[in-house]
Amino acid sequence: MSVTAAQGFRAAGVTAGLKASGKPDLALVVNDGPLDAAAAVYTSNRCKAHPVLWSERASADGHLKAVVLNSGGANCFTGPQGFQTTHATAELVGELTGAGAADVVVCSTGLIGVELPRRKVLDGVREAFAGLSTDGGTAAATAIMTTDTVSKQAIASGDGFVVGGMAKGAGMLAPGLATMLVVLTTDAVVEAADLDRALRAATRTTFDRVDSDGCMSTNDTVVLLSSGAGEVRPEPAAFDEVVRTVCADLARMLVGDAEGADHDIAIEVVGAASEAEAVEVARSIARNNLFKAAVFGRDPNWGRVMAAVGTTSARFDPQTLDVSLNGVAVCVDGTPHADPAQVNLEPREVRVRIDLKAGAETATVWTNDLTHAYVHENSAYSS
Amino acid sequence: MSVTAAQGFRAAGVTAGLKASGKPDLALVVNDGPLDAAAAVYTSNRCKAHPVLWSERASADGHLKAVVLNSGGANCFTGPQGFQTTHATAELVGELTGAGAADVVVCSTGLIGVELPRRKVLDGVREAFAGLSTDGGTAAATAIMTTDTVSKQAIASGDGFVVGGMAKGAGMLAPGLATMLVVLTTDAVVEAADLDRALRAATRTTFDRVDSDGCMSTNDTVVLLSSGAGEVRPEPAAFDEVVRTVCADLARMLVGDAEGADHDIAIEVVGAASEAEAVEVARSIARNNLFKAAVFGRDPNWGRVMAAVGTTSARFDPQTLDVSLNGVAVCVDGTPHADPAQVNLEPREVRVRIDLKAGAETATVWTNDLTHAYVHENSAYSS
């Protein structure tokens, strides 16, 4: 499963001692080739963690040998020491795998502003390297978990090739470009430029449309590696679609396991004048704490949807807006319609649909409700 | 106190039966002159409530006789019926006061998408008119409360003149131009253009810098009325400062009574290249749910401040950012500094200070923490 579903990859997950809980916290994914093509996208947060600053350079040439990931610390705002830890980690992985440090992406996740214990990280890397195996995908997916309650793994197949992936992410979950930590692998024969196209197209409509809590991370990274071990060279469109499927599956799992969430909310905007406006409207609702709290309380308070729509610059006329909640048309042409009491908000999945009546474009953003458990979990995270 | 502190004004607050609780829910403020100069600012939410659409036109000429306000319903997205209720209310107040409907501002607050009972509103207007008095300010301030736990009234004096005001607002509290419902009165002799200048200058740095929950209302209105009854014509600068003082006092009261809040948080950004960038950075932190939940948990998690700063377009270098929490310099030059354990987050008032080191501009935005009580109150508001 996960990153070892495709041929040509080995992985491992170990306990390096970075987490106070003693749970697994370091993962290694190695591409055994014959190809070493790769593409990656990173957070657009301007306060980037050291591993992101390193990895942006490492992945720029479209070639990667390995990805090393740790939970238990974001290595962000940790000063020059922190960057040296990232560098030393890449150096060691490069040395062990026979590649250079410049072919190693480093990913970290956890608390910002706290130094990683470098010796434990490096010892963990040696142990992970020794334990690499072609069925290590689940162990790797488990080792990158932070507040996740389940490991996230997905796999999809095309004609003669496989794309597999793992993800972690449960909070600070509102990507600006990519989100969270995700490693995708494929045995298809695909060069770096094609990987890049497939990955950017997929993330744009999957991870980029998850907005659980409006908070963009400093460490988001999505990497796609191709080993070419399957010896099949797929059509670009077919390959793109399989990559998108895996990304969409992982994105849905992220929303489904978001910190403290009680509902997964799909906000579908139709009738928009442009796709960007559809996304803007959907995101404004996804970030409206009052609406999110109402969903938690099973309260079909569609006025809060309207108040959020009104803060955007999208083209629409308030007098013609339609809103439905789980299929019930509570507002038609800006006027109350069906009785909101008909809306059943008990199921975990909630569907909000807004028709802007300004065009033919559409977009769906996924978010979660705002719950007591979210507040509880995030009021005590670093203590 | 409140809107009747200045000479030349009468007010009343009555129970019209709009609230299920049976509490006072309709207020009337009348300017007895000799002047009827006025200025007003309204929400920049594009989904404006019917009373806002009406009042924008009524106040445009700089003359107002009265302001009528109701809680118990926002009269927003209520269809043509809703607009007719606003119109009928203004007509009746105009008739009773001997002015025209076009000299009456109408303000409504409460749930969106639910019709106001027109007959009850009109009966309430008649009762309020009958009960107008020069010491009715407190009754009026009480009648406009929704989820407010206390009435908000402020007063300040200049050389020979008085400015008084009342405000309501506890949720959906993130002004785009003005916020909530506020009525200010003065007995100074000030023409409409000068009232407008004073009001816009004051709201820009007071109400506009309250961002309790990131949610902009459809009904925000701030009105300033001058009776001229004090016969003193103040210097513009002196008048502006007194208006600003009353607005700042009321704004601080709003934050102090925000729904479910446990802390009032002043986010001070210094060293910004422009005032707009300082506001952008401060607001990004004010809207970061993770940081707000951390403050509730007394967790000095400054990494969440950094992650929020990184989402802005303001000029800064992450490597030189300074952050202090309640005076403790937890981050200096992008590197951990003082032990966060020194930060005491027990007091209700919290001070966050970010130095962008990019210029000399500064701004402070006030927000609240994200608490269990906020989620509780807003998950059951309309049910």
CA distance A191 to A194: 6
Contact A310 B79 (CB under 8 A): no
Contact A335 B78 (CB under 8 A): yes
Query: H or E element: which one contains B139?
Result: helix B137-143
Residue window 229-258, chain B: list those with CB within 8 Å of chain A. none
* A261-283 tens-digit pLDDT: 999 999 999 999 999 999 999 99
For A372, the closest of B78, B172, B375 (CB atoms) is B375
Distance from CA of B217 to the nearest CA of A (A): 6
Distances (CA, A) of B289 to A172, A290, B105: 9, 12, 36
Q: Which residue ranges in chain B fall short of pLDDT 50?
A: 176-179, 383
Whether residue A167 contacts residue A254, with contact meaning beta carbons closer than 8 Å, is answered with yes
Q: DSSP assignment, residue B206?
A: T
For B331, the closest of A113, A293, A297 (CB atoms) is A113
Determine the 3-state secondary structure of B83 from DSSP: helix
Contact B307 A45 (CB under 8 A): yes
Residue window 290-329, chain B: list those with CB within 8 Å of chain A. 290, 293-294, 296-299, 301-304, 306-312, 318, 321
Mean pLDDT, chain A, rounded, equals: 90
Contact B307 A215 (CB under 8 A): yes
B264-378 maps to CATH 3.40.50.2000: no
* B65-81 tens-digit pLDDT: 999 999 999 998 888 99
Distances (CA, A) of A19 to A71, A84, A145, A382, B302: 7, 20, 11, 12, 20
Contact A307 B45 (CB under 8 A): yes
Q: What is the pLDDT of residue B260?
A: 87
Whether residue A218 contacts residue B306, with contact meaning beta carbons closer than 8 Å, is answered with yes
User: Does residue B146 have a known ligand-binding role?
Assistant: yes
Whether residue A135 contacts residue A141, with contact meaning beta carbons closer than 8 Å, is answered with no
The confidence band for A172, taking pLDDT boundaries of 50, 70 and 90, is: low
- Concerning whether B179 is annotated as a catalytic residue, the answer is yes
Residue window 164-183, chain B: list those with CB within 8 Å of chain A. 171-172, 176
Range with lowest mean pLDDT among A6-15, A345-354, B257-266? B257-266
* Residue A177 confidence (pLDDT) above 50: no
Contact A290 B378 (CB under 8 A): yes
For B336, the closest of A113, A294, A321 (CB atoms) is A113
Overall average pLDDT of the A299-313 stretch = 89
Contact A77 B288 (CB under 8 A): no
Q: What is the pLDDT of residue B223?
A: 84
Residues of A in contact with B214 (CB under 8 A): 287-289
Distance from CA of B157 to the nearest CA of A (A): 36
Interface test with A, best of B56, B112, B115 (most A CBs within 10 A): B112
The confidence band for A116, taking pLDDT boundaries of 50, 70 and 90, is: very high
Query: Any chain A CB within 8 A of the CB of B288?
Result: yes
The confidence band for A174, taking pLDDT boundaries of 50, 70 and 90, is: low
Query: Any chain B CB within 8 A of the CB of A338?
Result: no
The verdict on whether omega for the bond into residue A34 sits within 30 degrees of 0, i.e. cis, is yes
For A47, the closest of B114, B287, B307 (CB atoms) is B307
Q: What is the pLDDT of residue A182?
A: 83
Whether residue B206 contacts residue B360, with contact meaning beta carbons closer than 8 Å, is answered with no
* A25-63 tens-digit pLDDT: 999 999 999 999 999 988 878 888 999 999 999 999 999
Closest chain B residue to A110, measured at CA: B303
Contact A289 B215 (CB under 8 A): yes
Interface test with A, best of B375, B377, B381, B383 (most A CBs within 10 A): B375
Going by the annotation, the residues of the binding site of A for substrate are 146, 168, 179, 259, 378, 383
Q: For domain B2-253, which CATH number applies: 3.40.50.1370, 3.60.70.12, 3.30.360.10, 2.160.20.10?
A: 3.60.70.12
Distance from CA of A358 to the nearest CA of B (A): 15
Going by C-alpha positions, the residue among A301, A41, A320, A352 that lies closest to residue A182 is: A41
Q: What is the pLDDT of residue A209?
A: 77
Distance from CA of A109 to the nearest CA of B (A): 12
* Residue A381 confidence (pLDDT) above 70: no
* B190-240 tens-digit pLDDT: 998 999 898 888 888 888 777 777 777 777 888 898 998 999 999 999 999
* Residue A124 confidence (pLDDT) above 70: yes
Going by C-alpha positions, the residue among B267, B307, B270 that lies closest to residue A382 is: B307
For A217, the closest of B77, B307, B379 (CB atoms) is B307
Interface test with A, best of B291, B295, B322, B379 (most A CBs within 10 A): B379
Distances (CA, A) of B40 to B60, B91, B178, B222: 8, 20, 9, 5
Contact A77 B383 (CB under 8 A): no
Overall average pLDDT of the A282-307 stretch = 91
Q: Which residues 6+ apart lie within 8 Å of A108 measured at CB?
A: A49, A50, A51, A69, A70, A71, A73, A74, A75, A76, A86, A116, A219
Contact B218 A378 (CB under 8 A): no
Q: Token digits for B154?
A: 């402020």
Q: Residue by residue, what is the 3-state secondary structure of chain A?
A: CHHHCCCCEEEEEECCCCCCCCCCCEEEEEECCCCCEEEEEECCCCCCCHHHHHHHHHCCCCECCEEEEECCECCCCCHHHHHHHHHHHHHHHHHHHCCCHHHEEEEEECCCCCCCCHHHHHHHHHHHHHCCECCCHHHHHHHCCCCCCCCEEEEEECCCCEEEEEEECCCCCCCCCCCCEEEEEECCCCCHHHHHHHHHHHHHHCHHHECCCCCCCCCCEEEEEECCCCCCCCCHHHHHHHHHHHHHHHHHHHHHCCCCCCCEEEEEEEEECCHHHHHHHHHHHHCCHHHHHHHHCCCCCCHHHHHHHCCCCCCCCHHHCEEEECCEEEEECCEECCCHHHCCCCCCEEEEEEECCCCCEEEEEEEECCCHHHHHHHCCCCC
Overall average pLDDT of the A177-182 stretch = 60
Q: For domain A2-256, which CATH number applies: 3.40.50.620, 3.60.70.12, 1.10.10.10, 3.90.190.10?
A: 3.60.70.12
For B303, the closest of A112, A302, A309 (CB atoms) is A112
* Residue A178 confidence (pLDDT) above 70: no
Q: What is the pLDDT of residue A117?
A: 97
Q: DSSP assignment, residue B170?
A: S
Determine the 3-state secondary structure of B44 from DSSP: coil
For A47, the closest of B45, B297, B306 (CB atoms) is B306
Q: What is the pLDDT of residue B175?
A: 52
Q: What is the pLDDT of residue B199?
A: 87
What's phi and psi for A209, nearest 5 deg?
Answer: -110, 20
- Residues of A belonging to the active site: 179
CA distance A274 to A282: 12
Q: What is the pLDDT of residue A260?
A: 87
Helix residue spans in B180-324 (DSSP H): 192-205, 236-256, 275-286, 289-296, 303-309
Determine the 3-state secondary structure of B117 from DSSP: coil
From the CB of residue B317, how many other CB atoms can be counted at a distance below 10 Å?
12
Determine the 3-state secondary structure of B173 from DSSP: coil
DSSP β-bridge partners for residue B350 = B265
Closest chain A residue to B217, measured at CA: A307
Q: What is the pLDDT of residue A175?
A: 52
Going by C-alpha positions, the residue among B138, B148, B108, B135 that lies closest to residue B26 is: B108
* Residue A284 confidence (pLDDT) above 50: yes
The confidence band for A345, taking pLDDT boundaries of 50, 70 and 90, is: very high
Look-up of token digits 């928009």: A272
Per domain, the residue ranges of chain A are 2-256, 264-378
Overall average pLDDT of the A208-236 stretch = 83
Going by the annotation, the residues of the binding site of A are 146, 168, 179, 259, 378, 383
Look-up of token digits 């962008």: B356
Contact A215 B48 (CB under 8 A): no
Assess: ipTM above 0.85. no
User: Does residue B326 have a known ligand-binding role?
Assistant: no
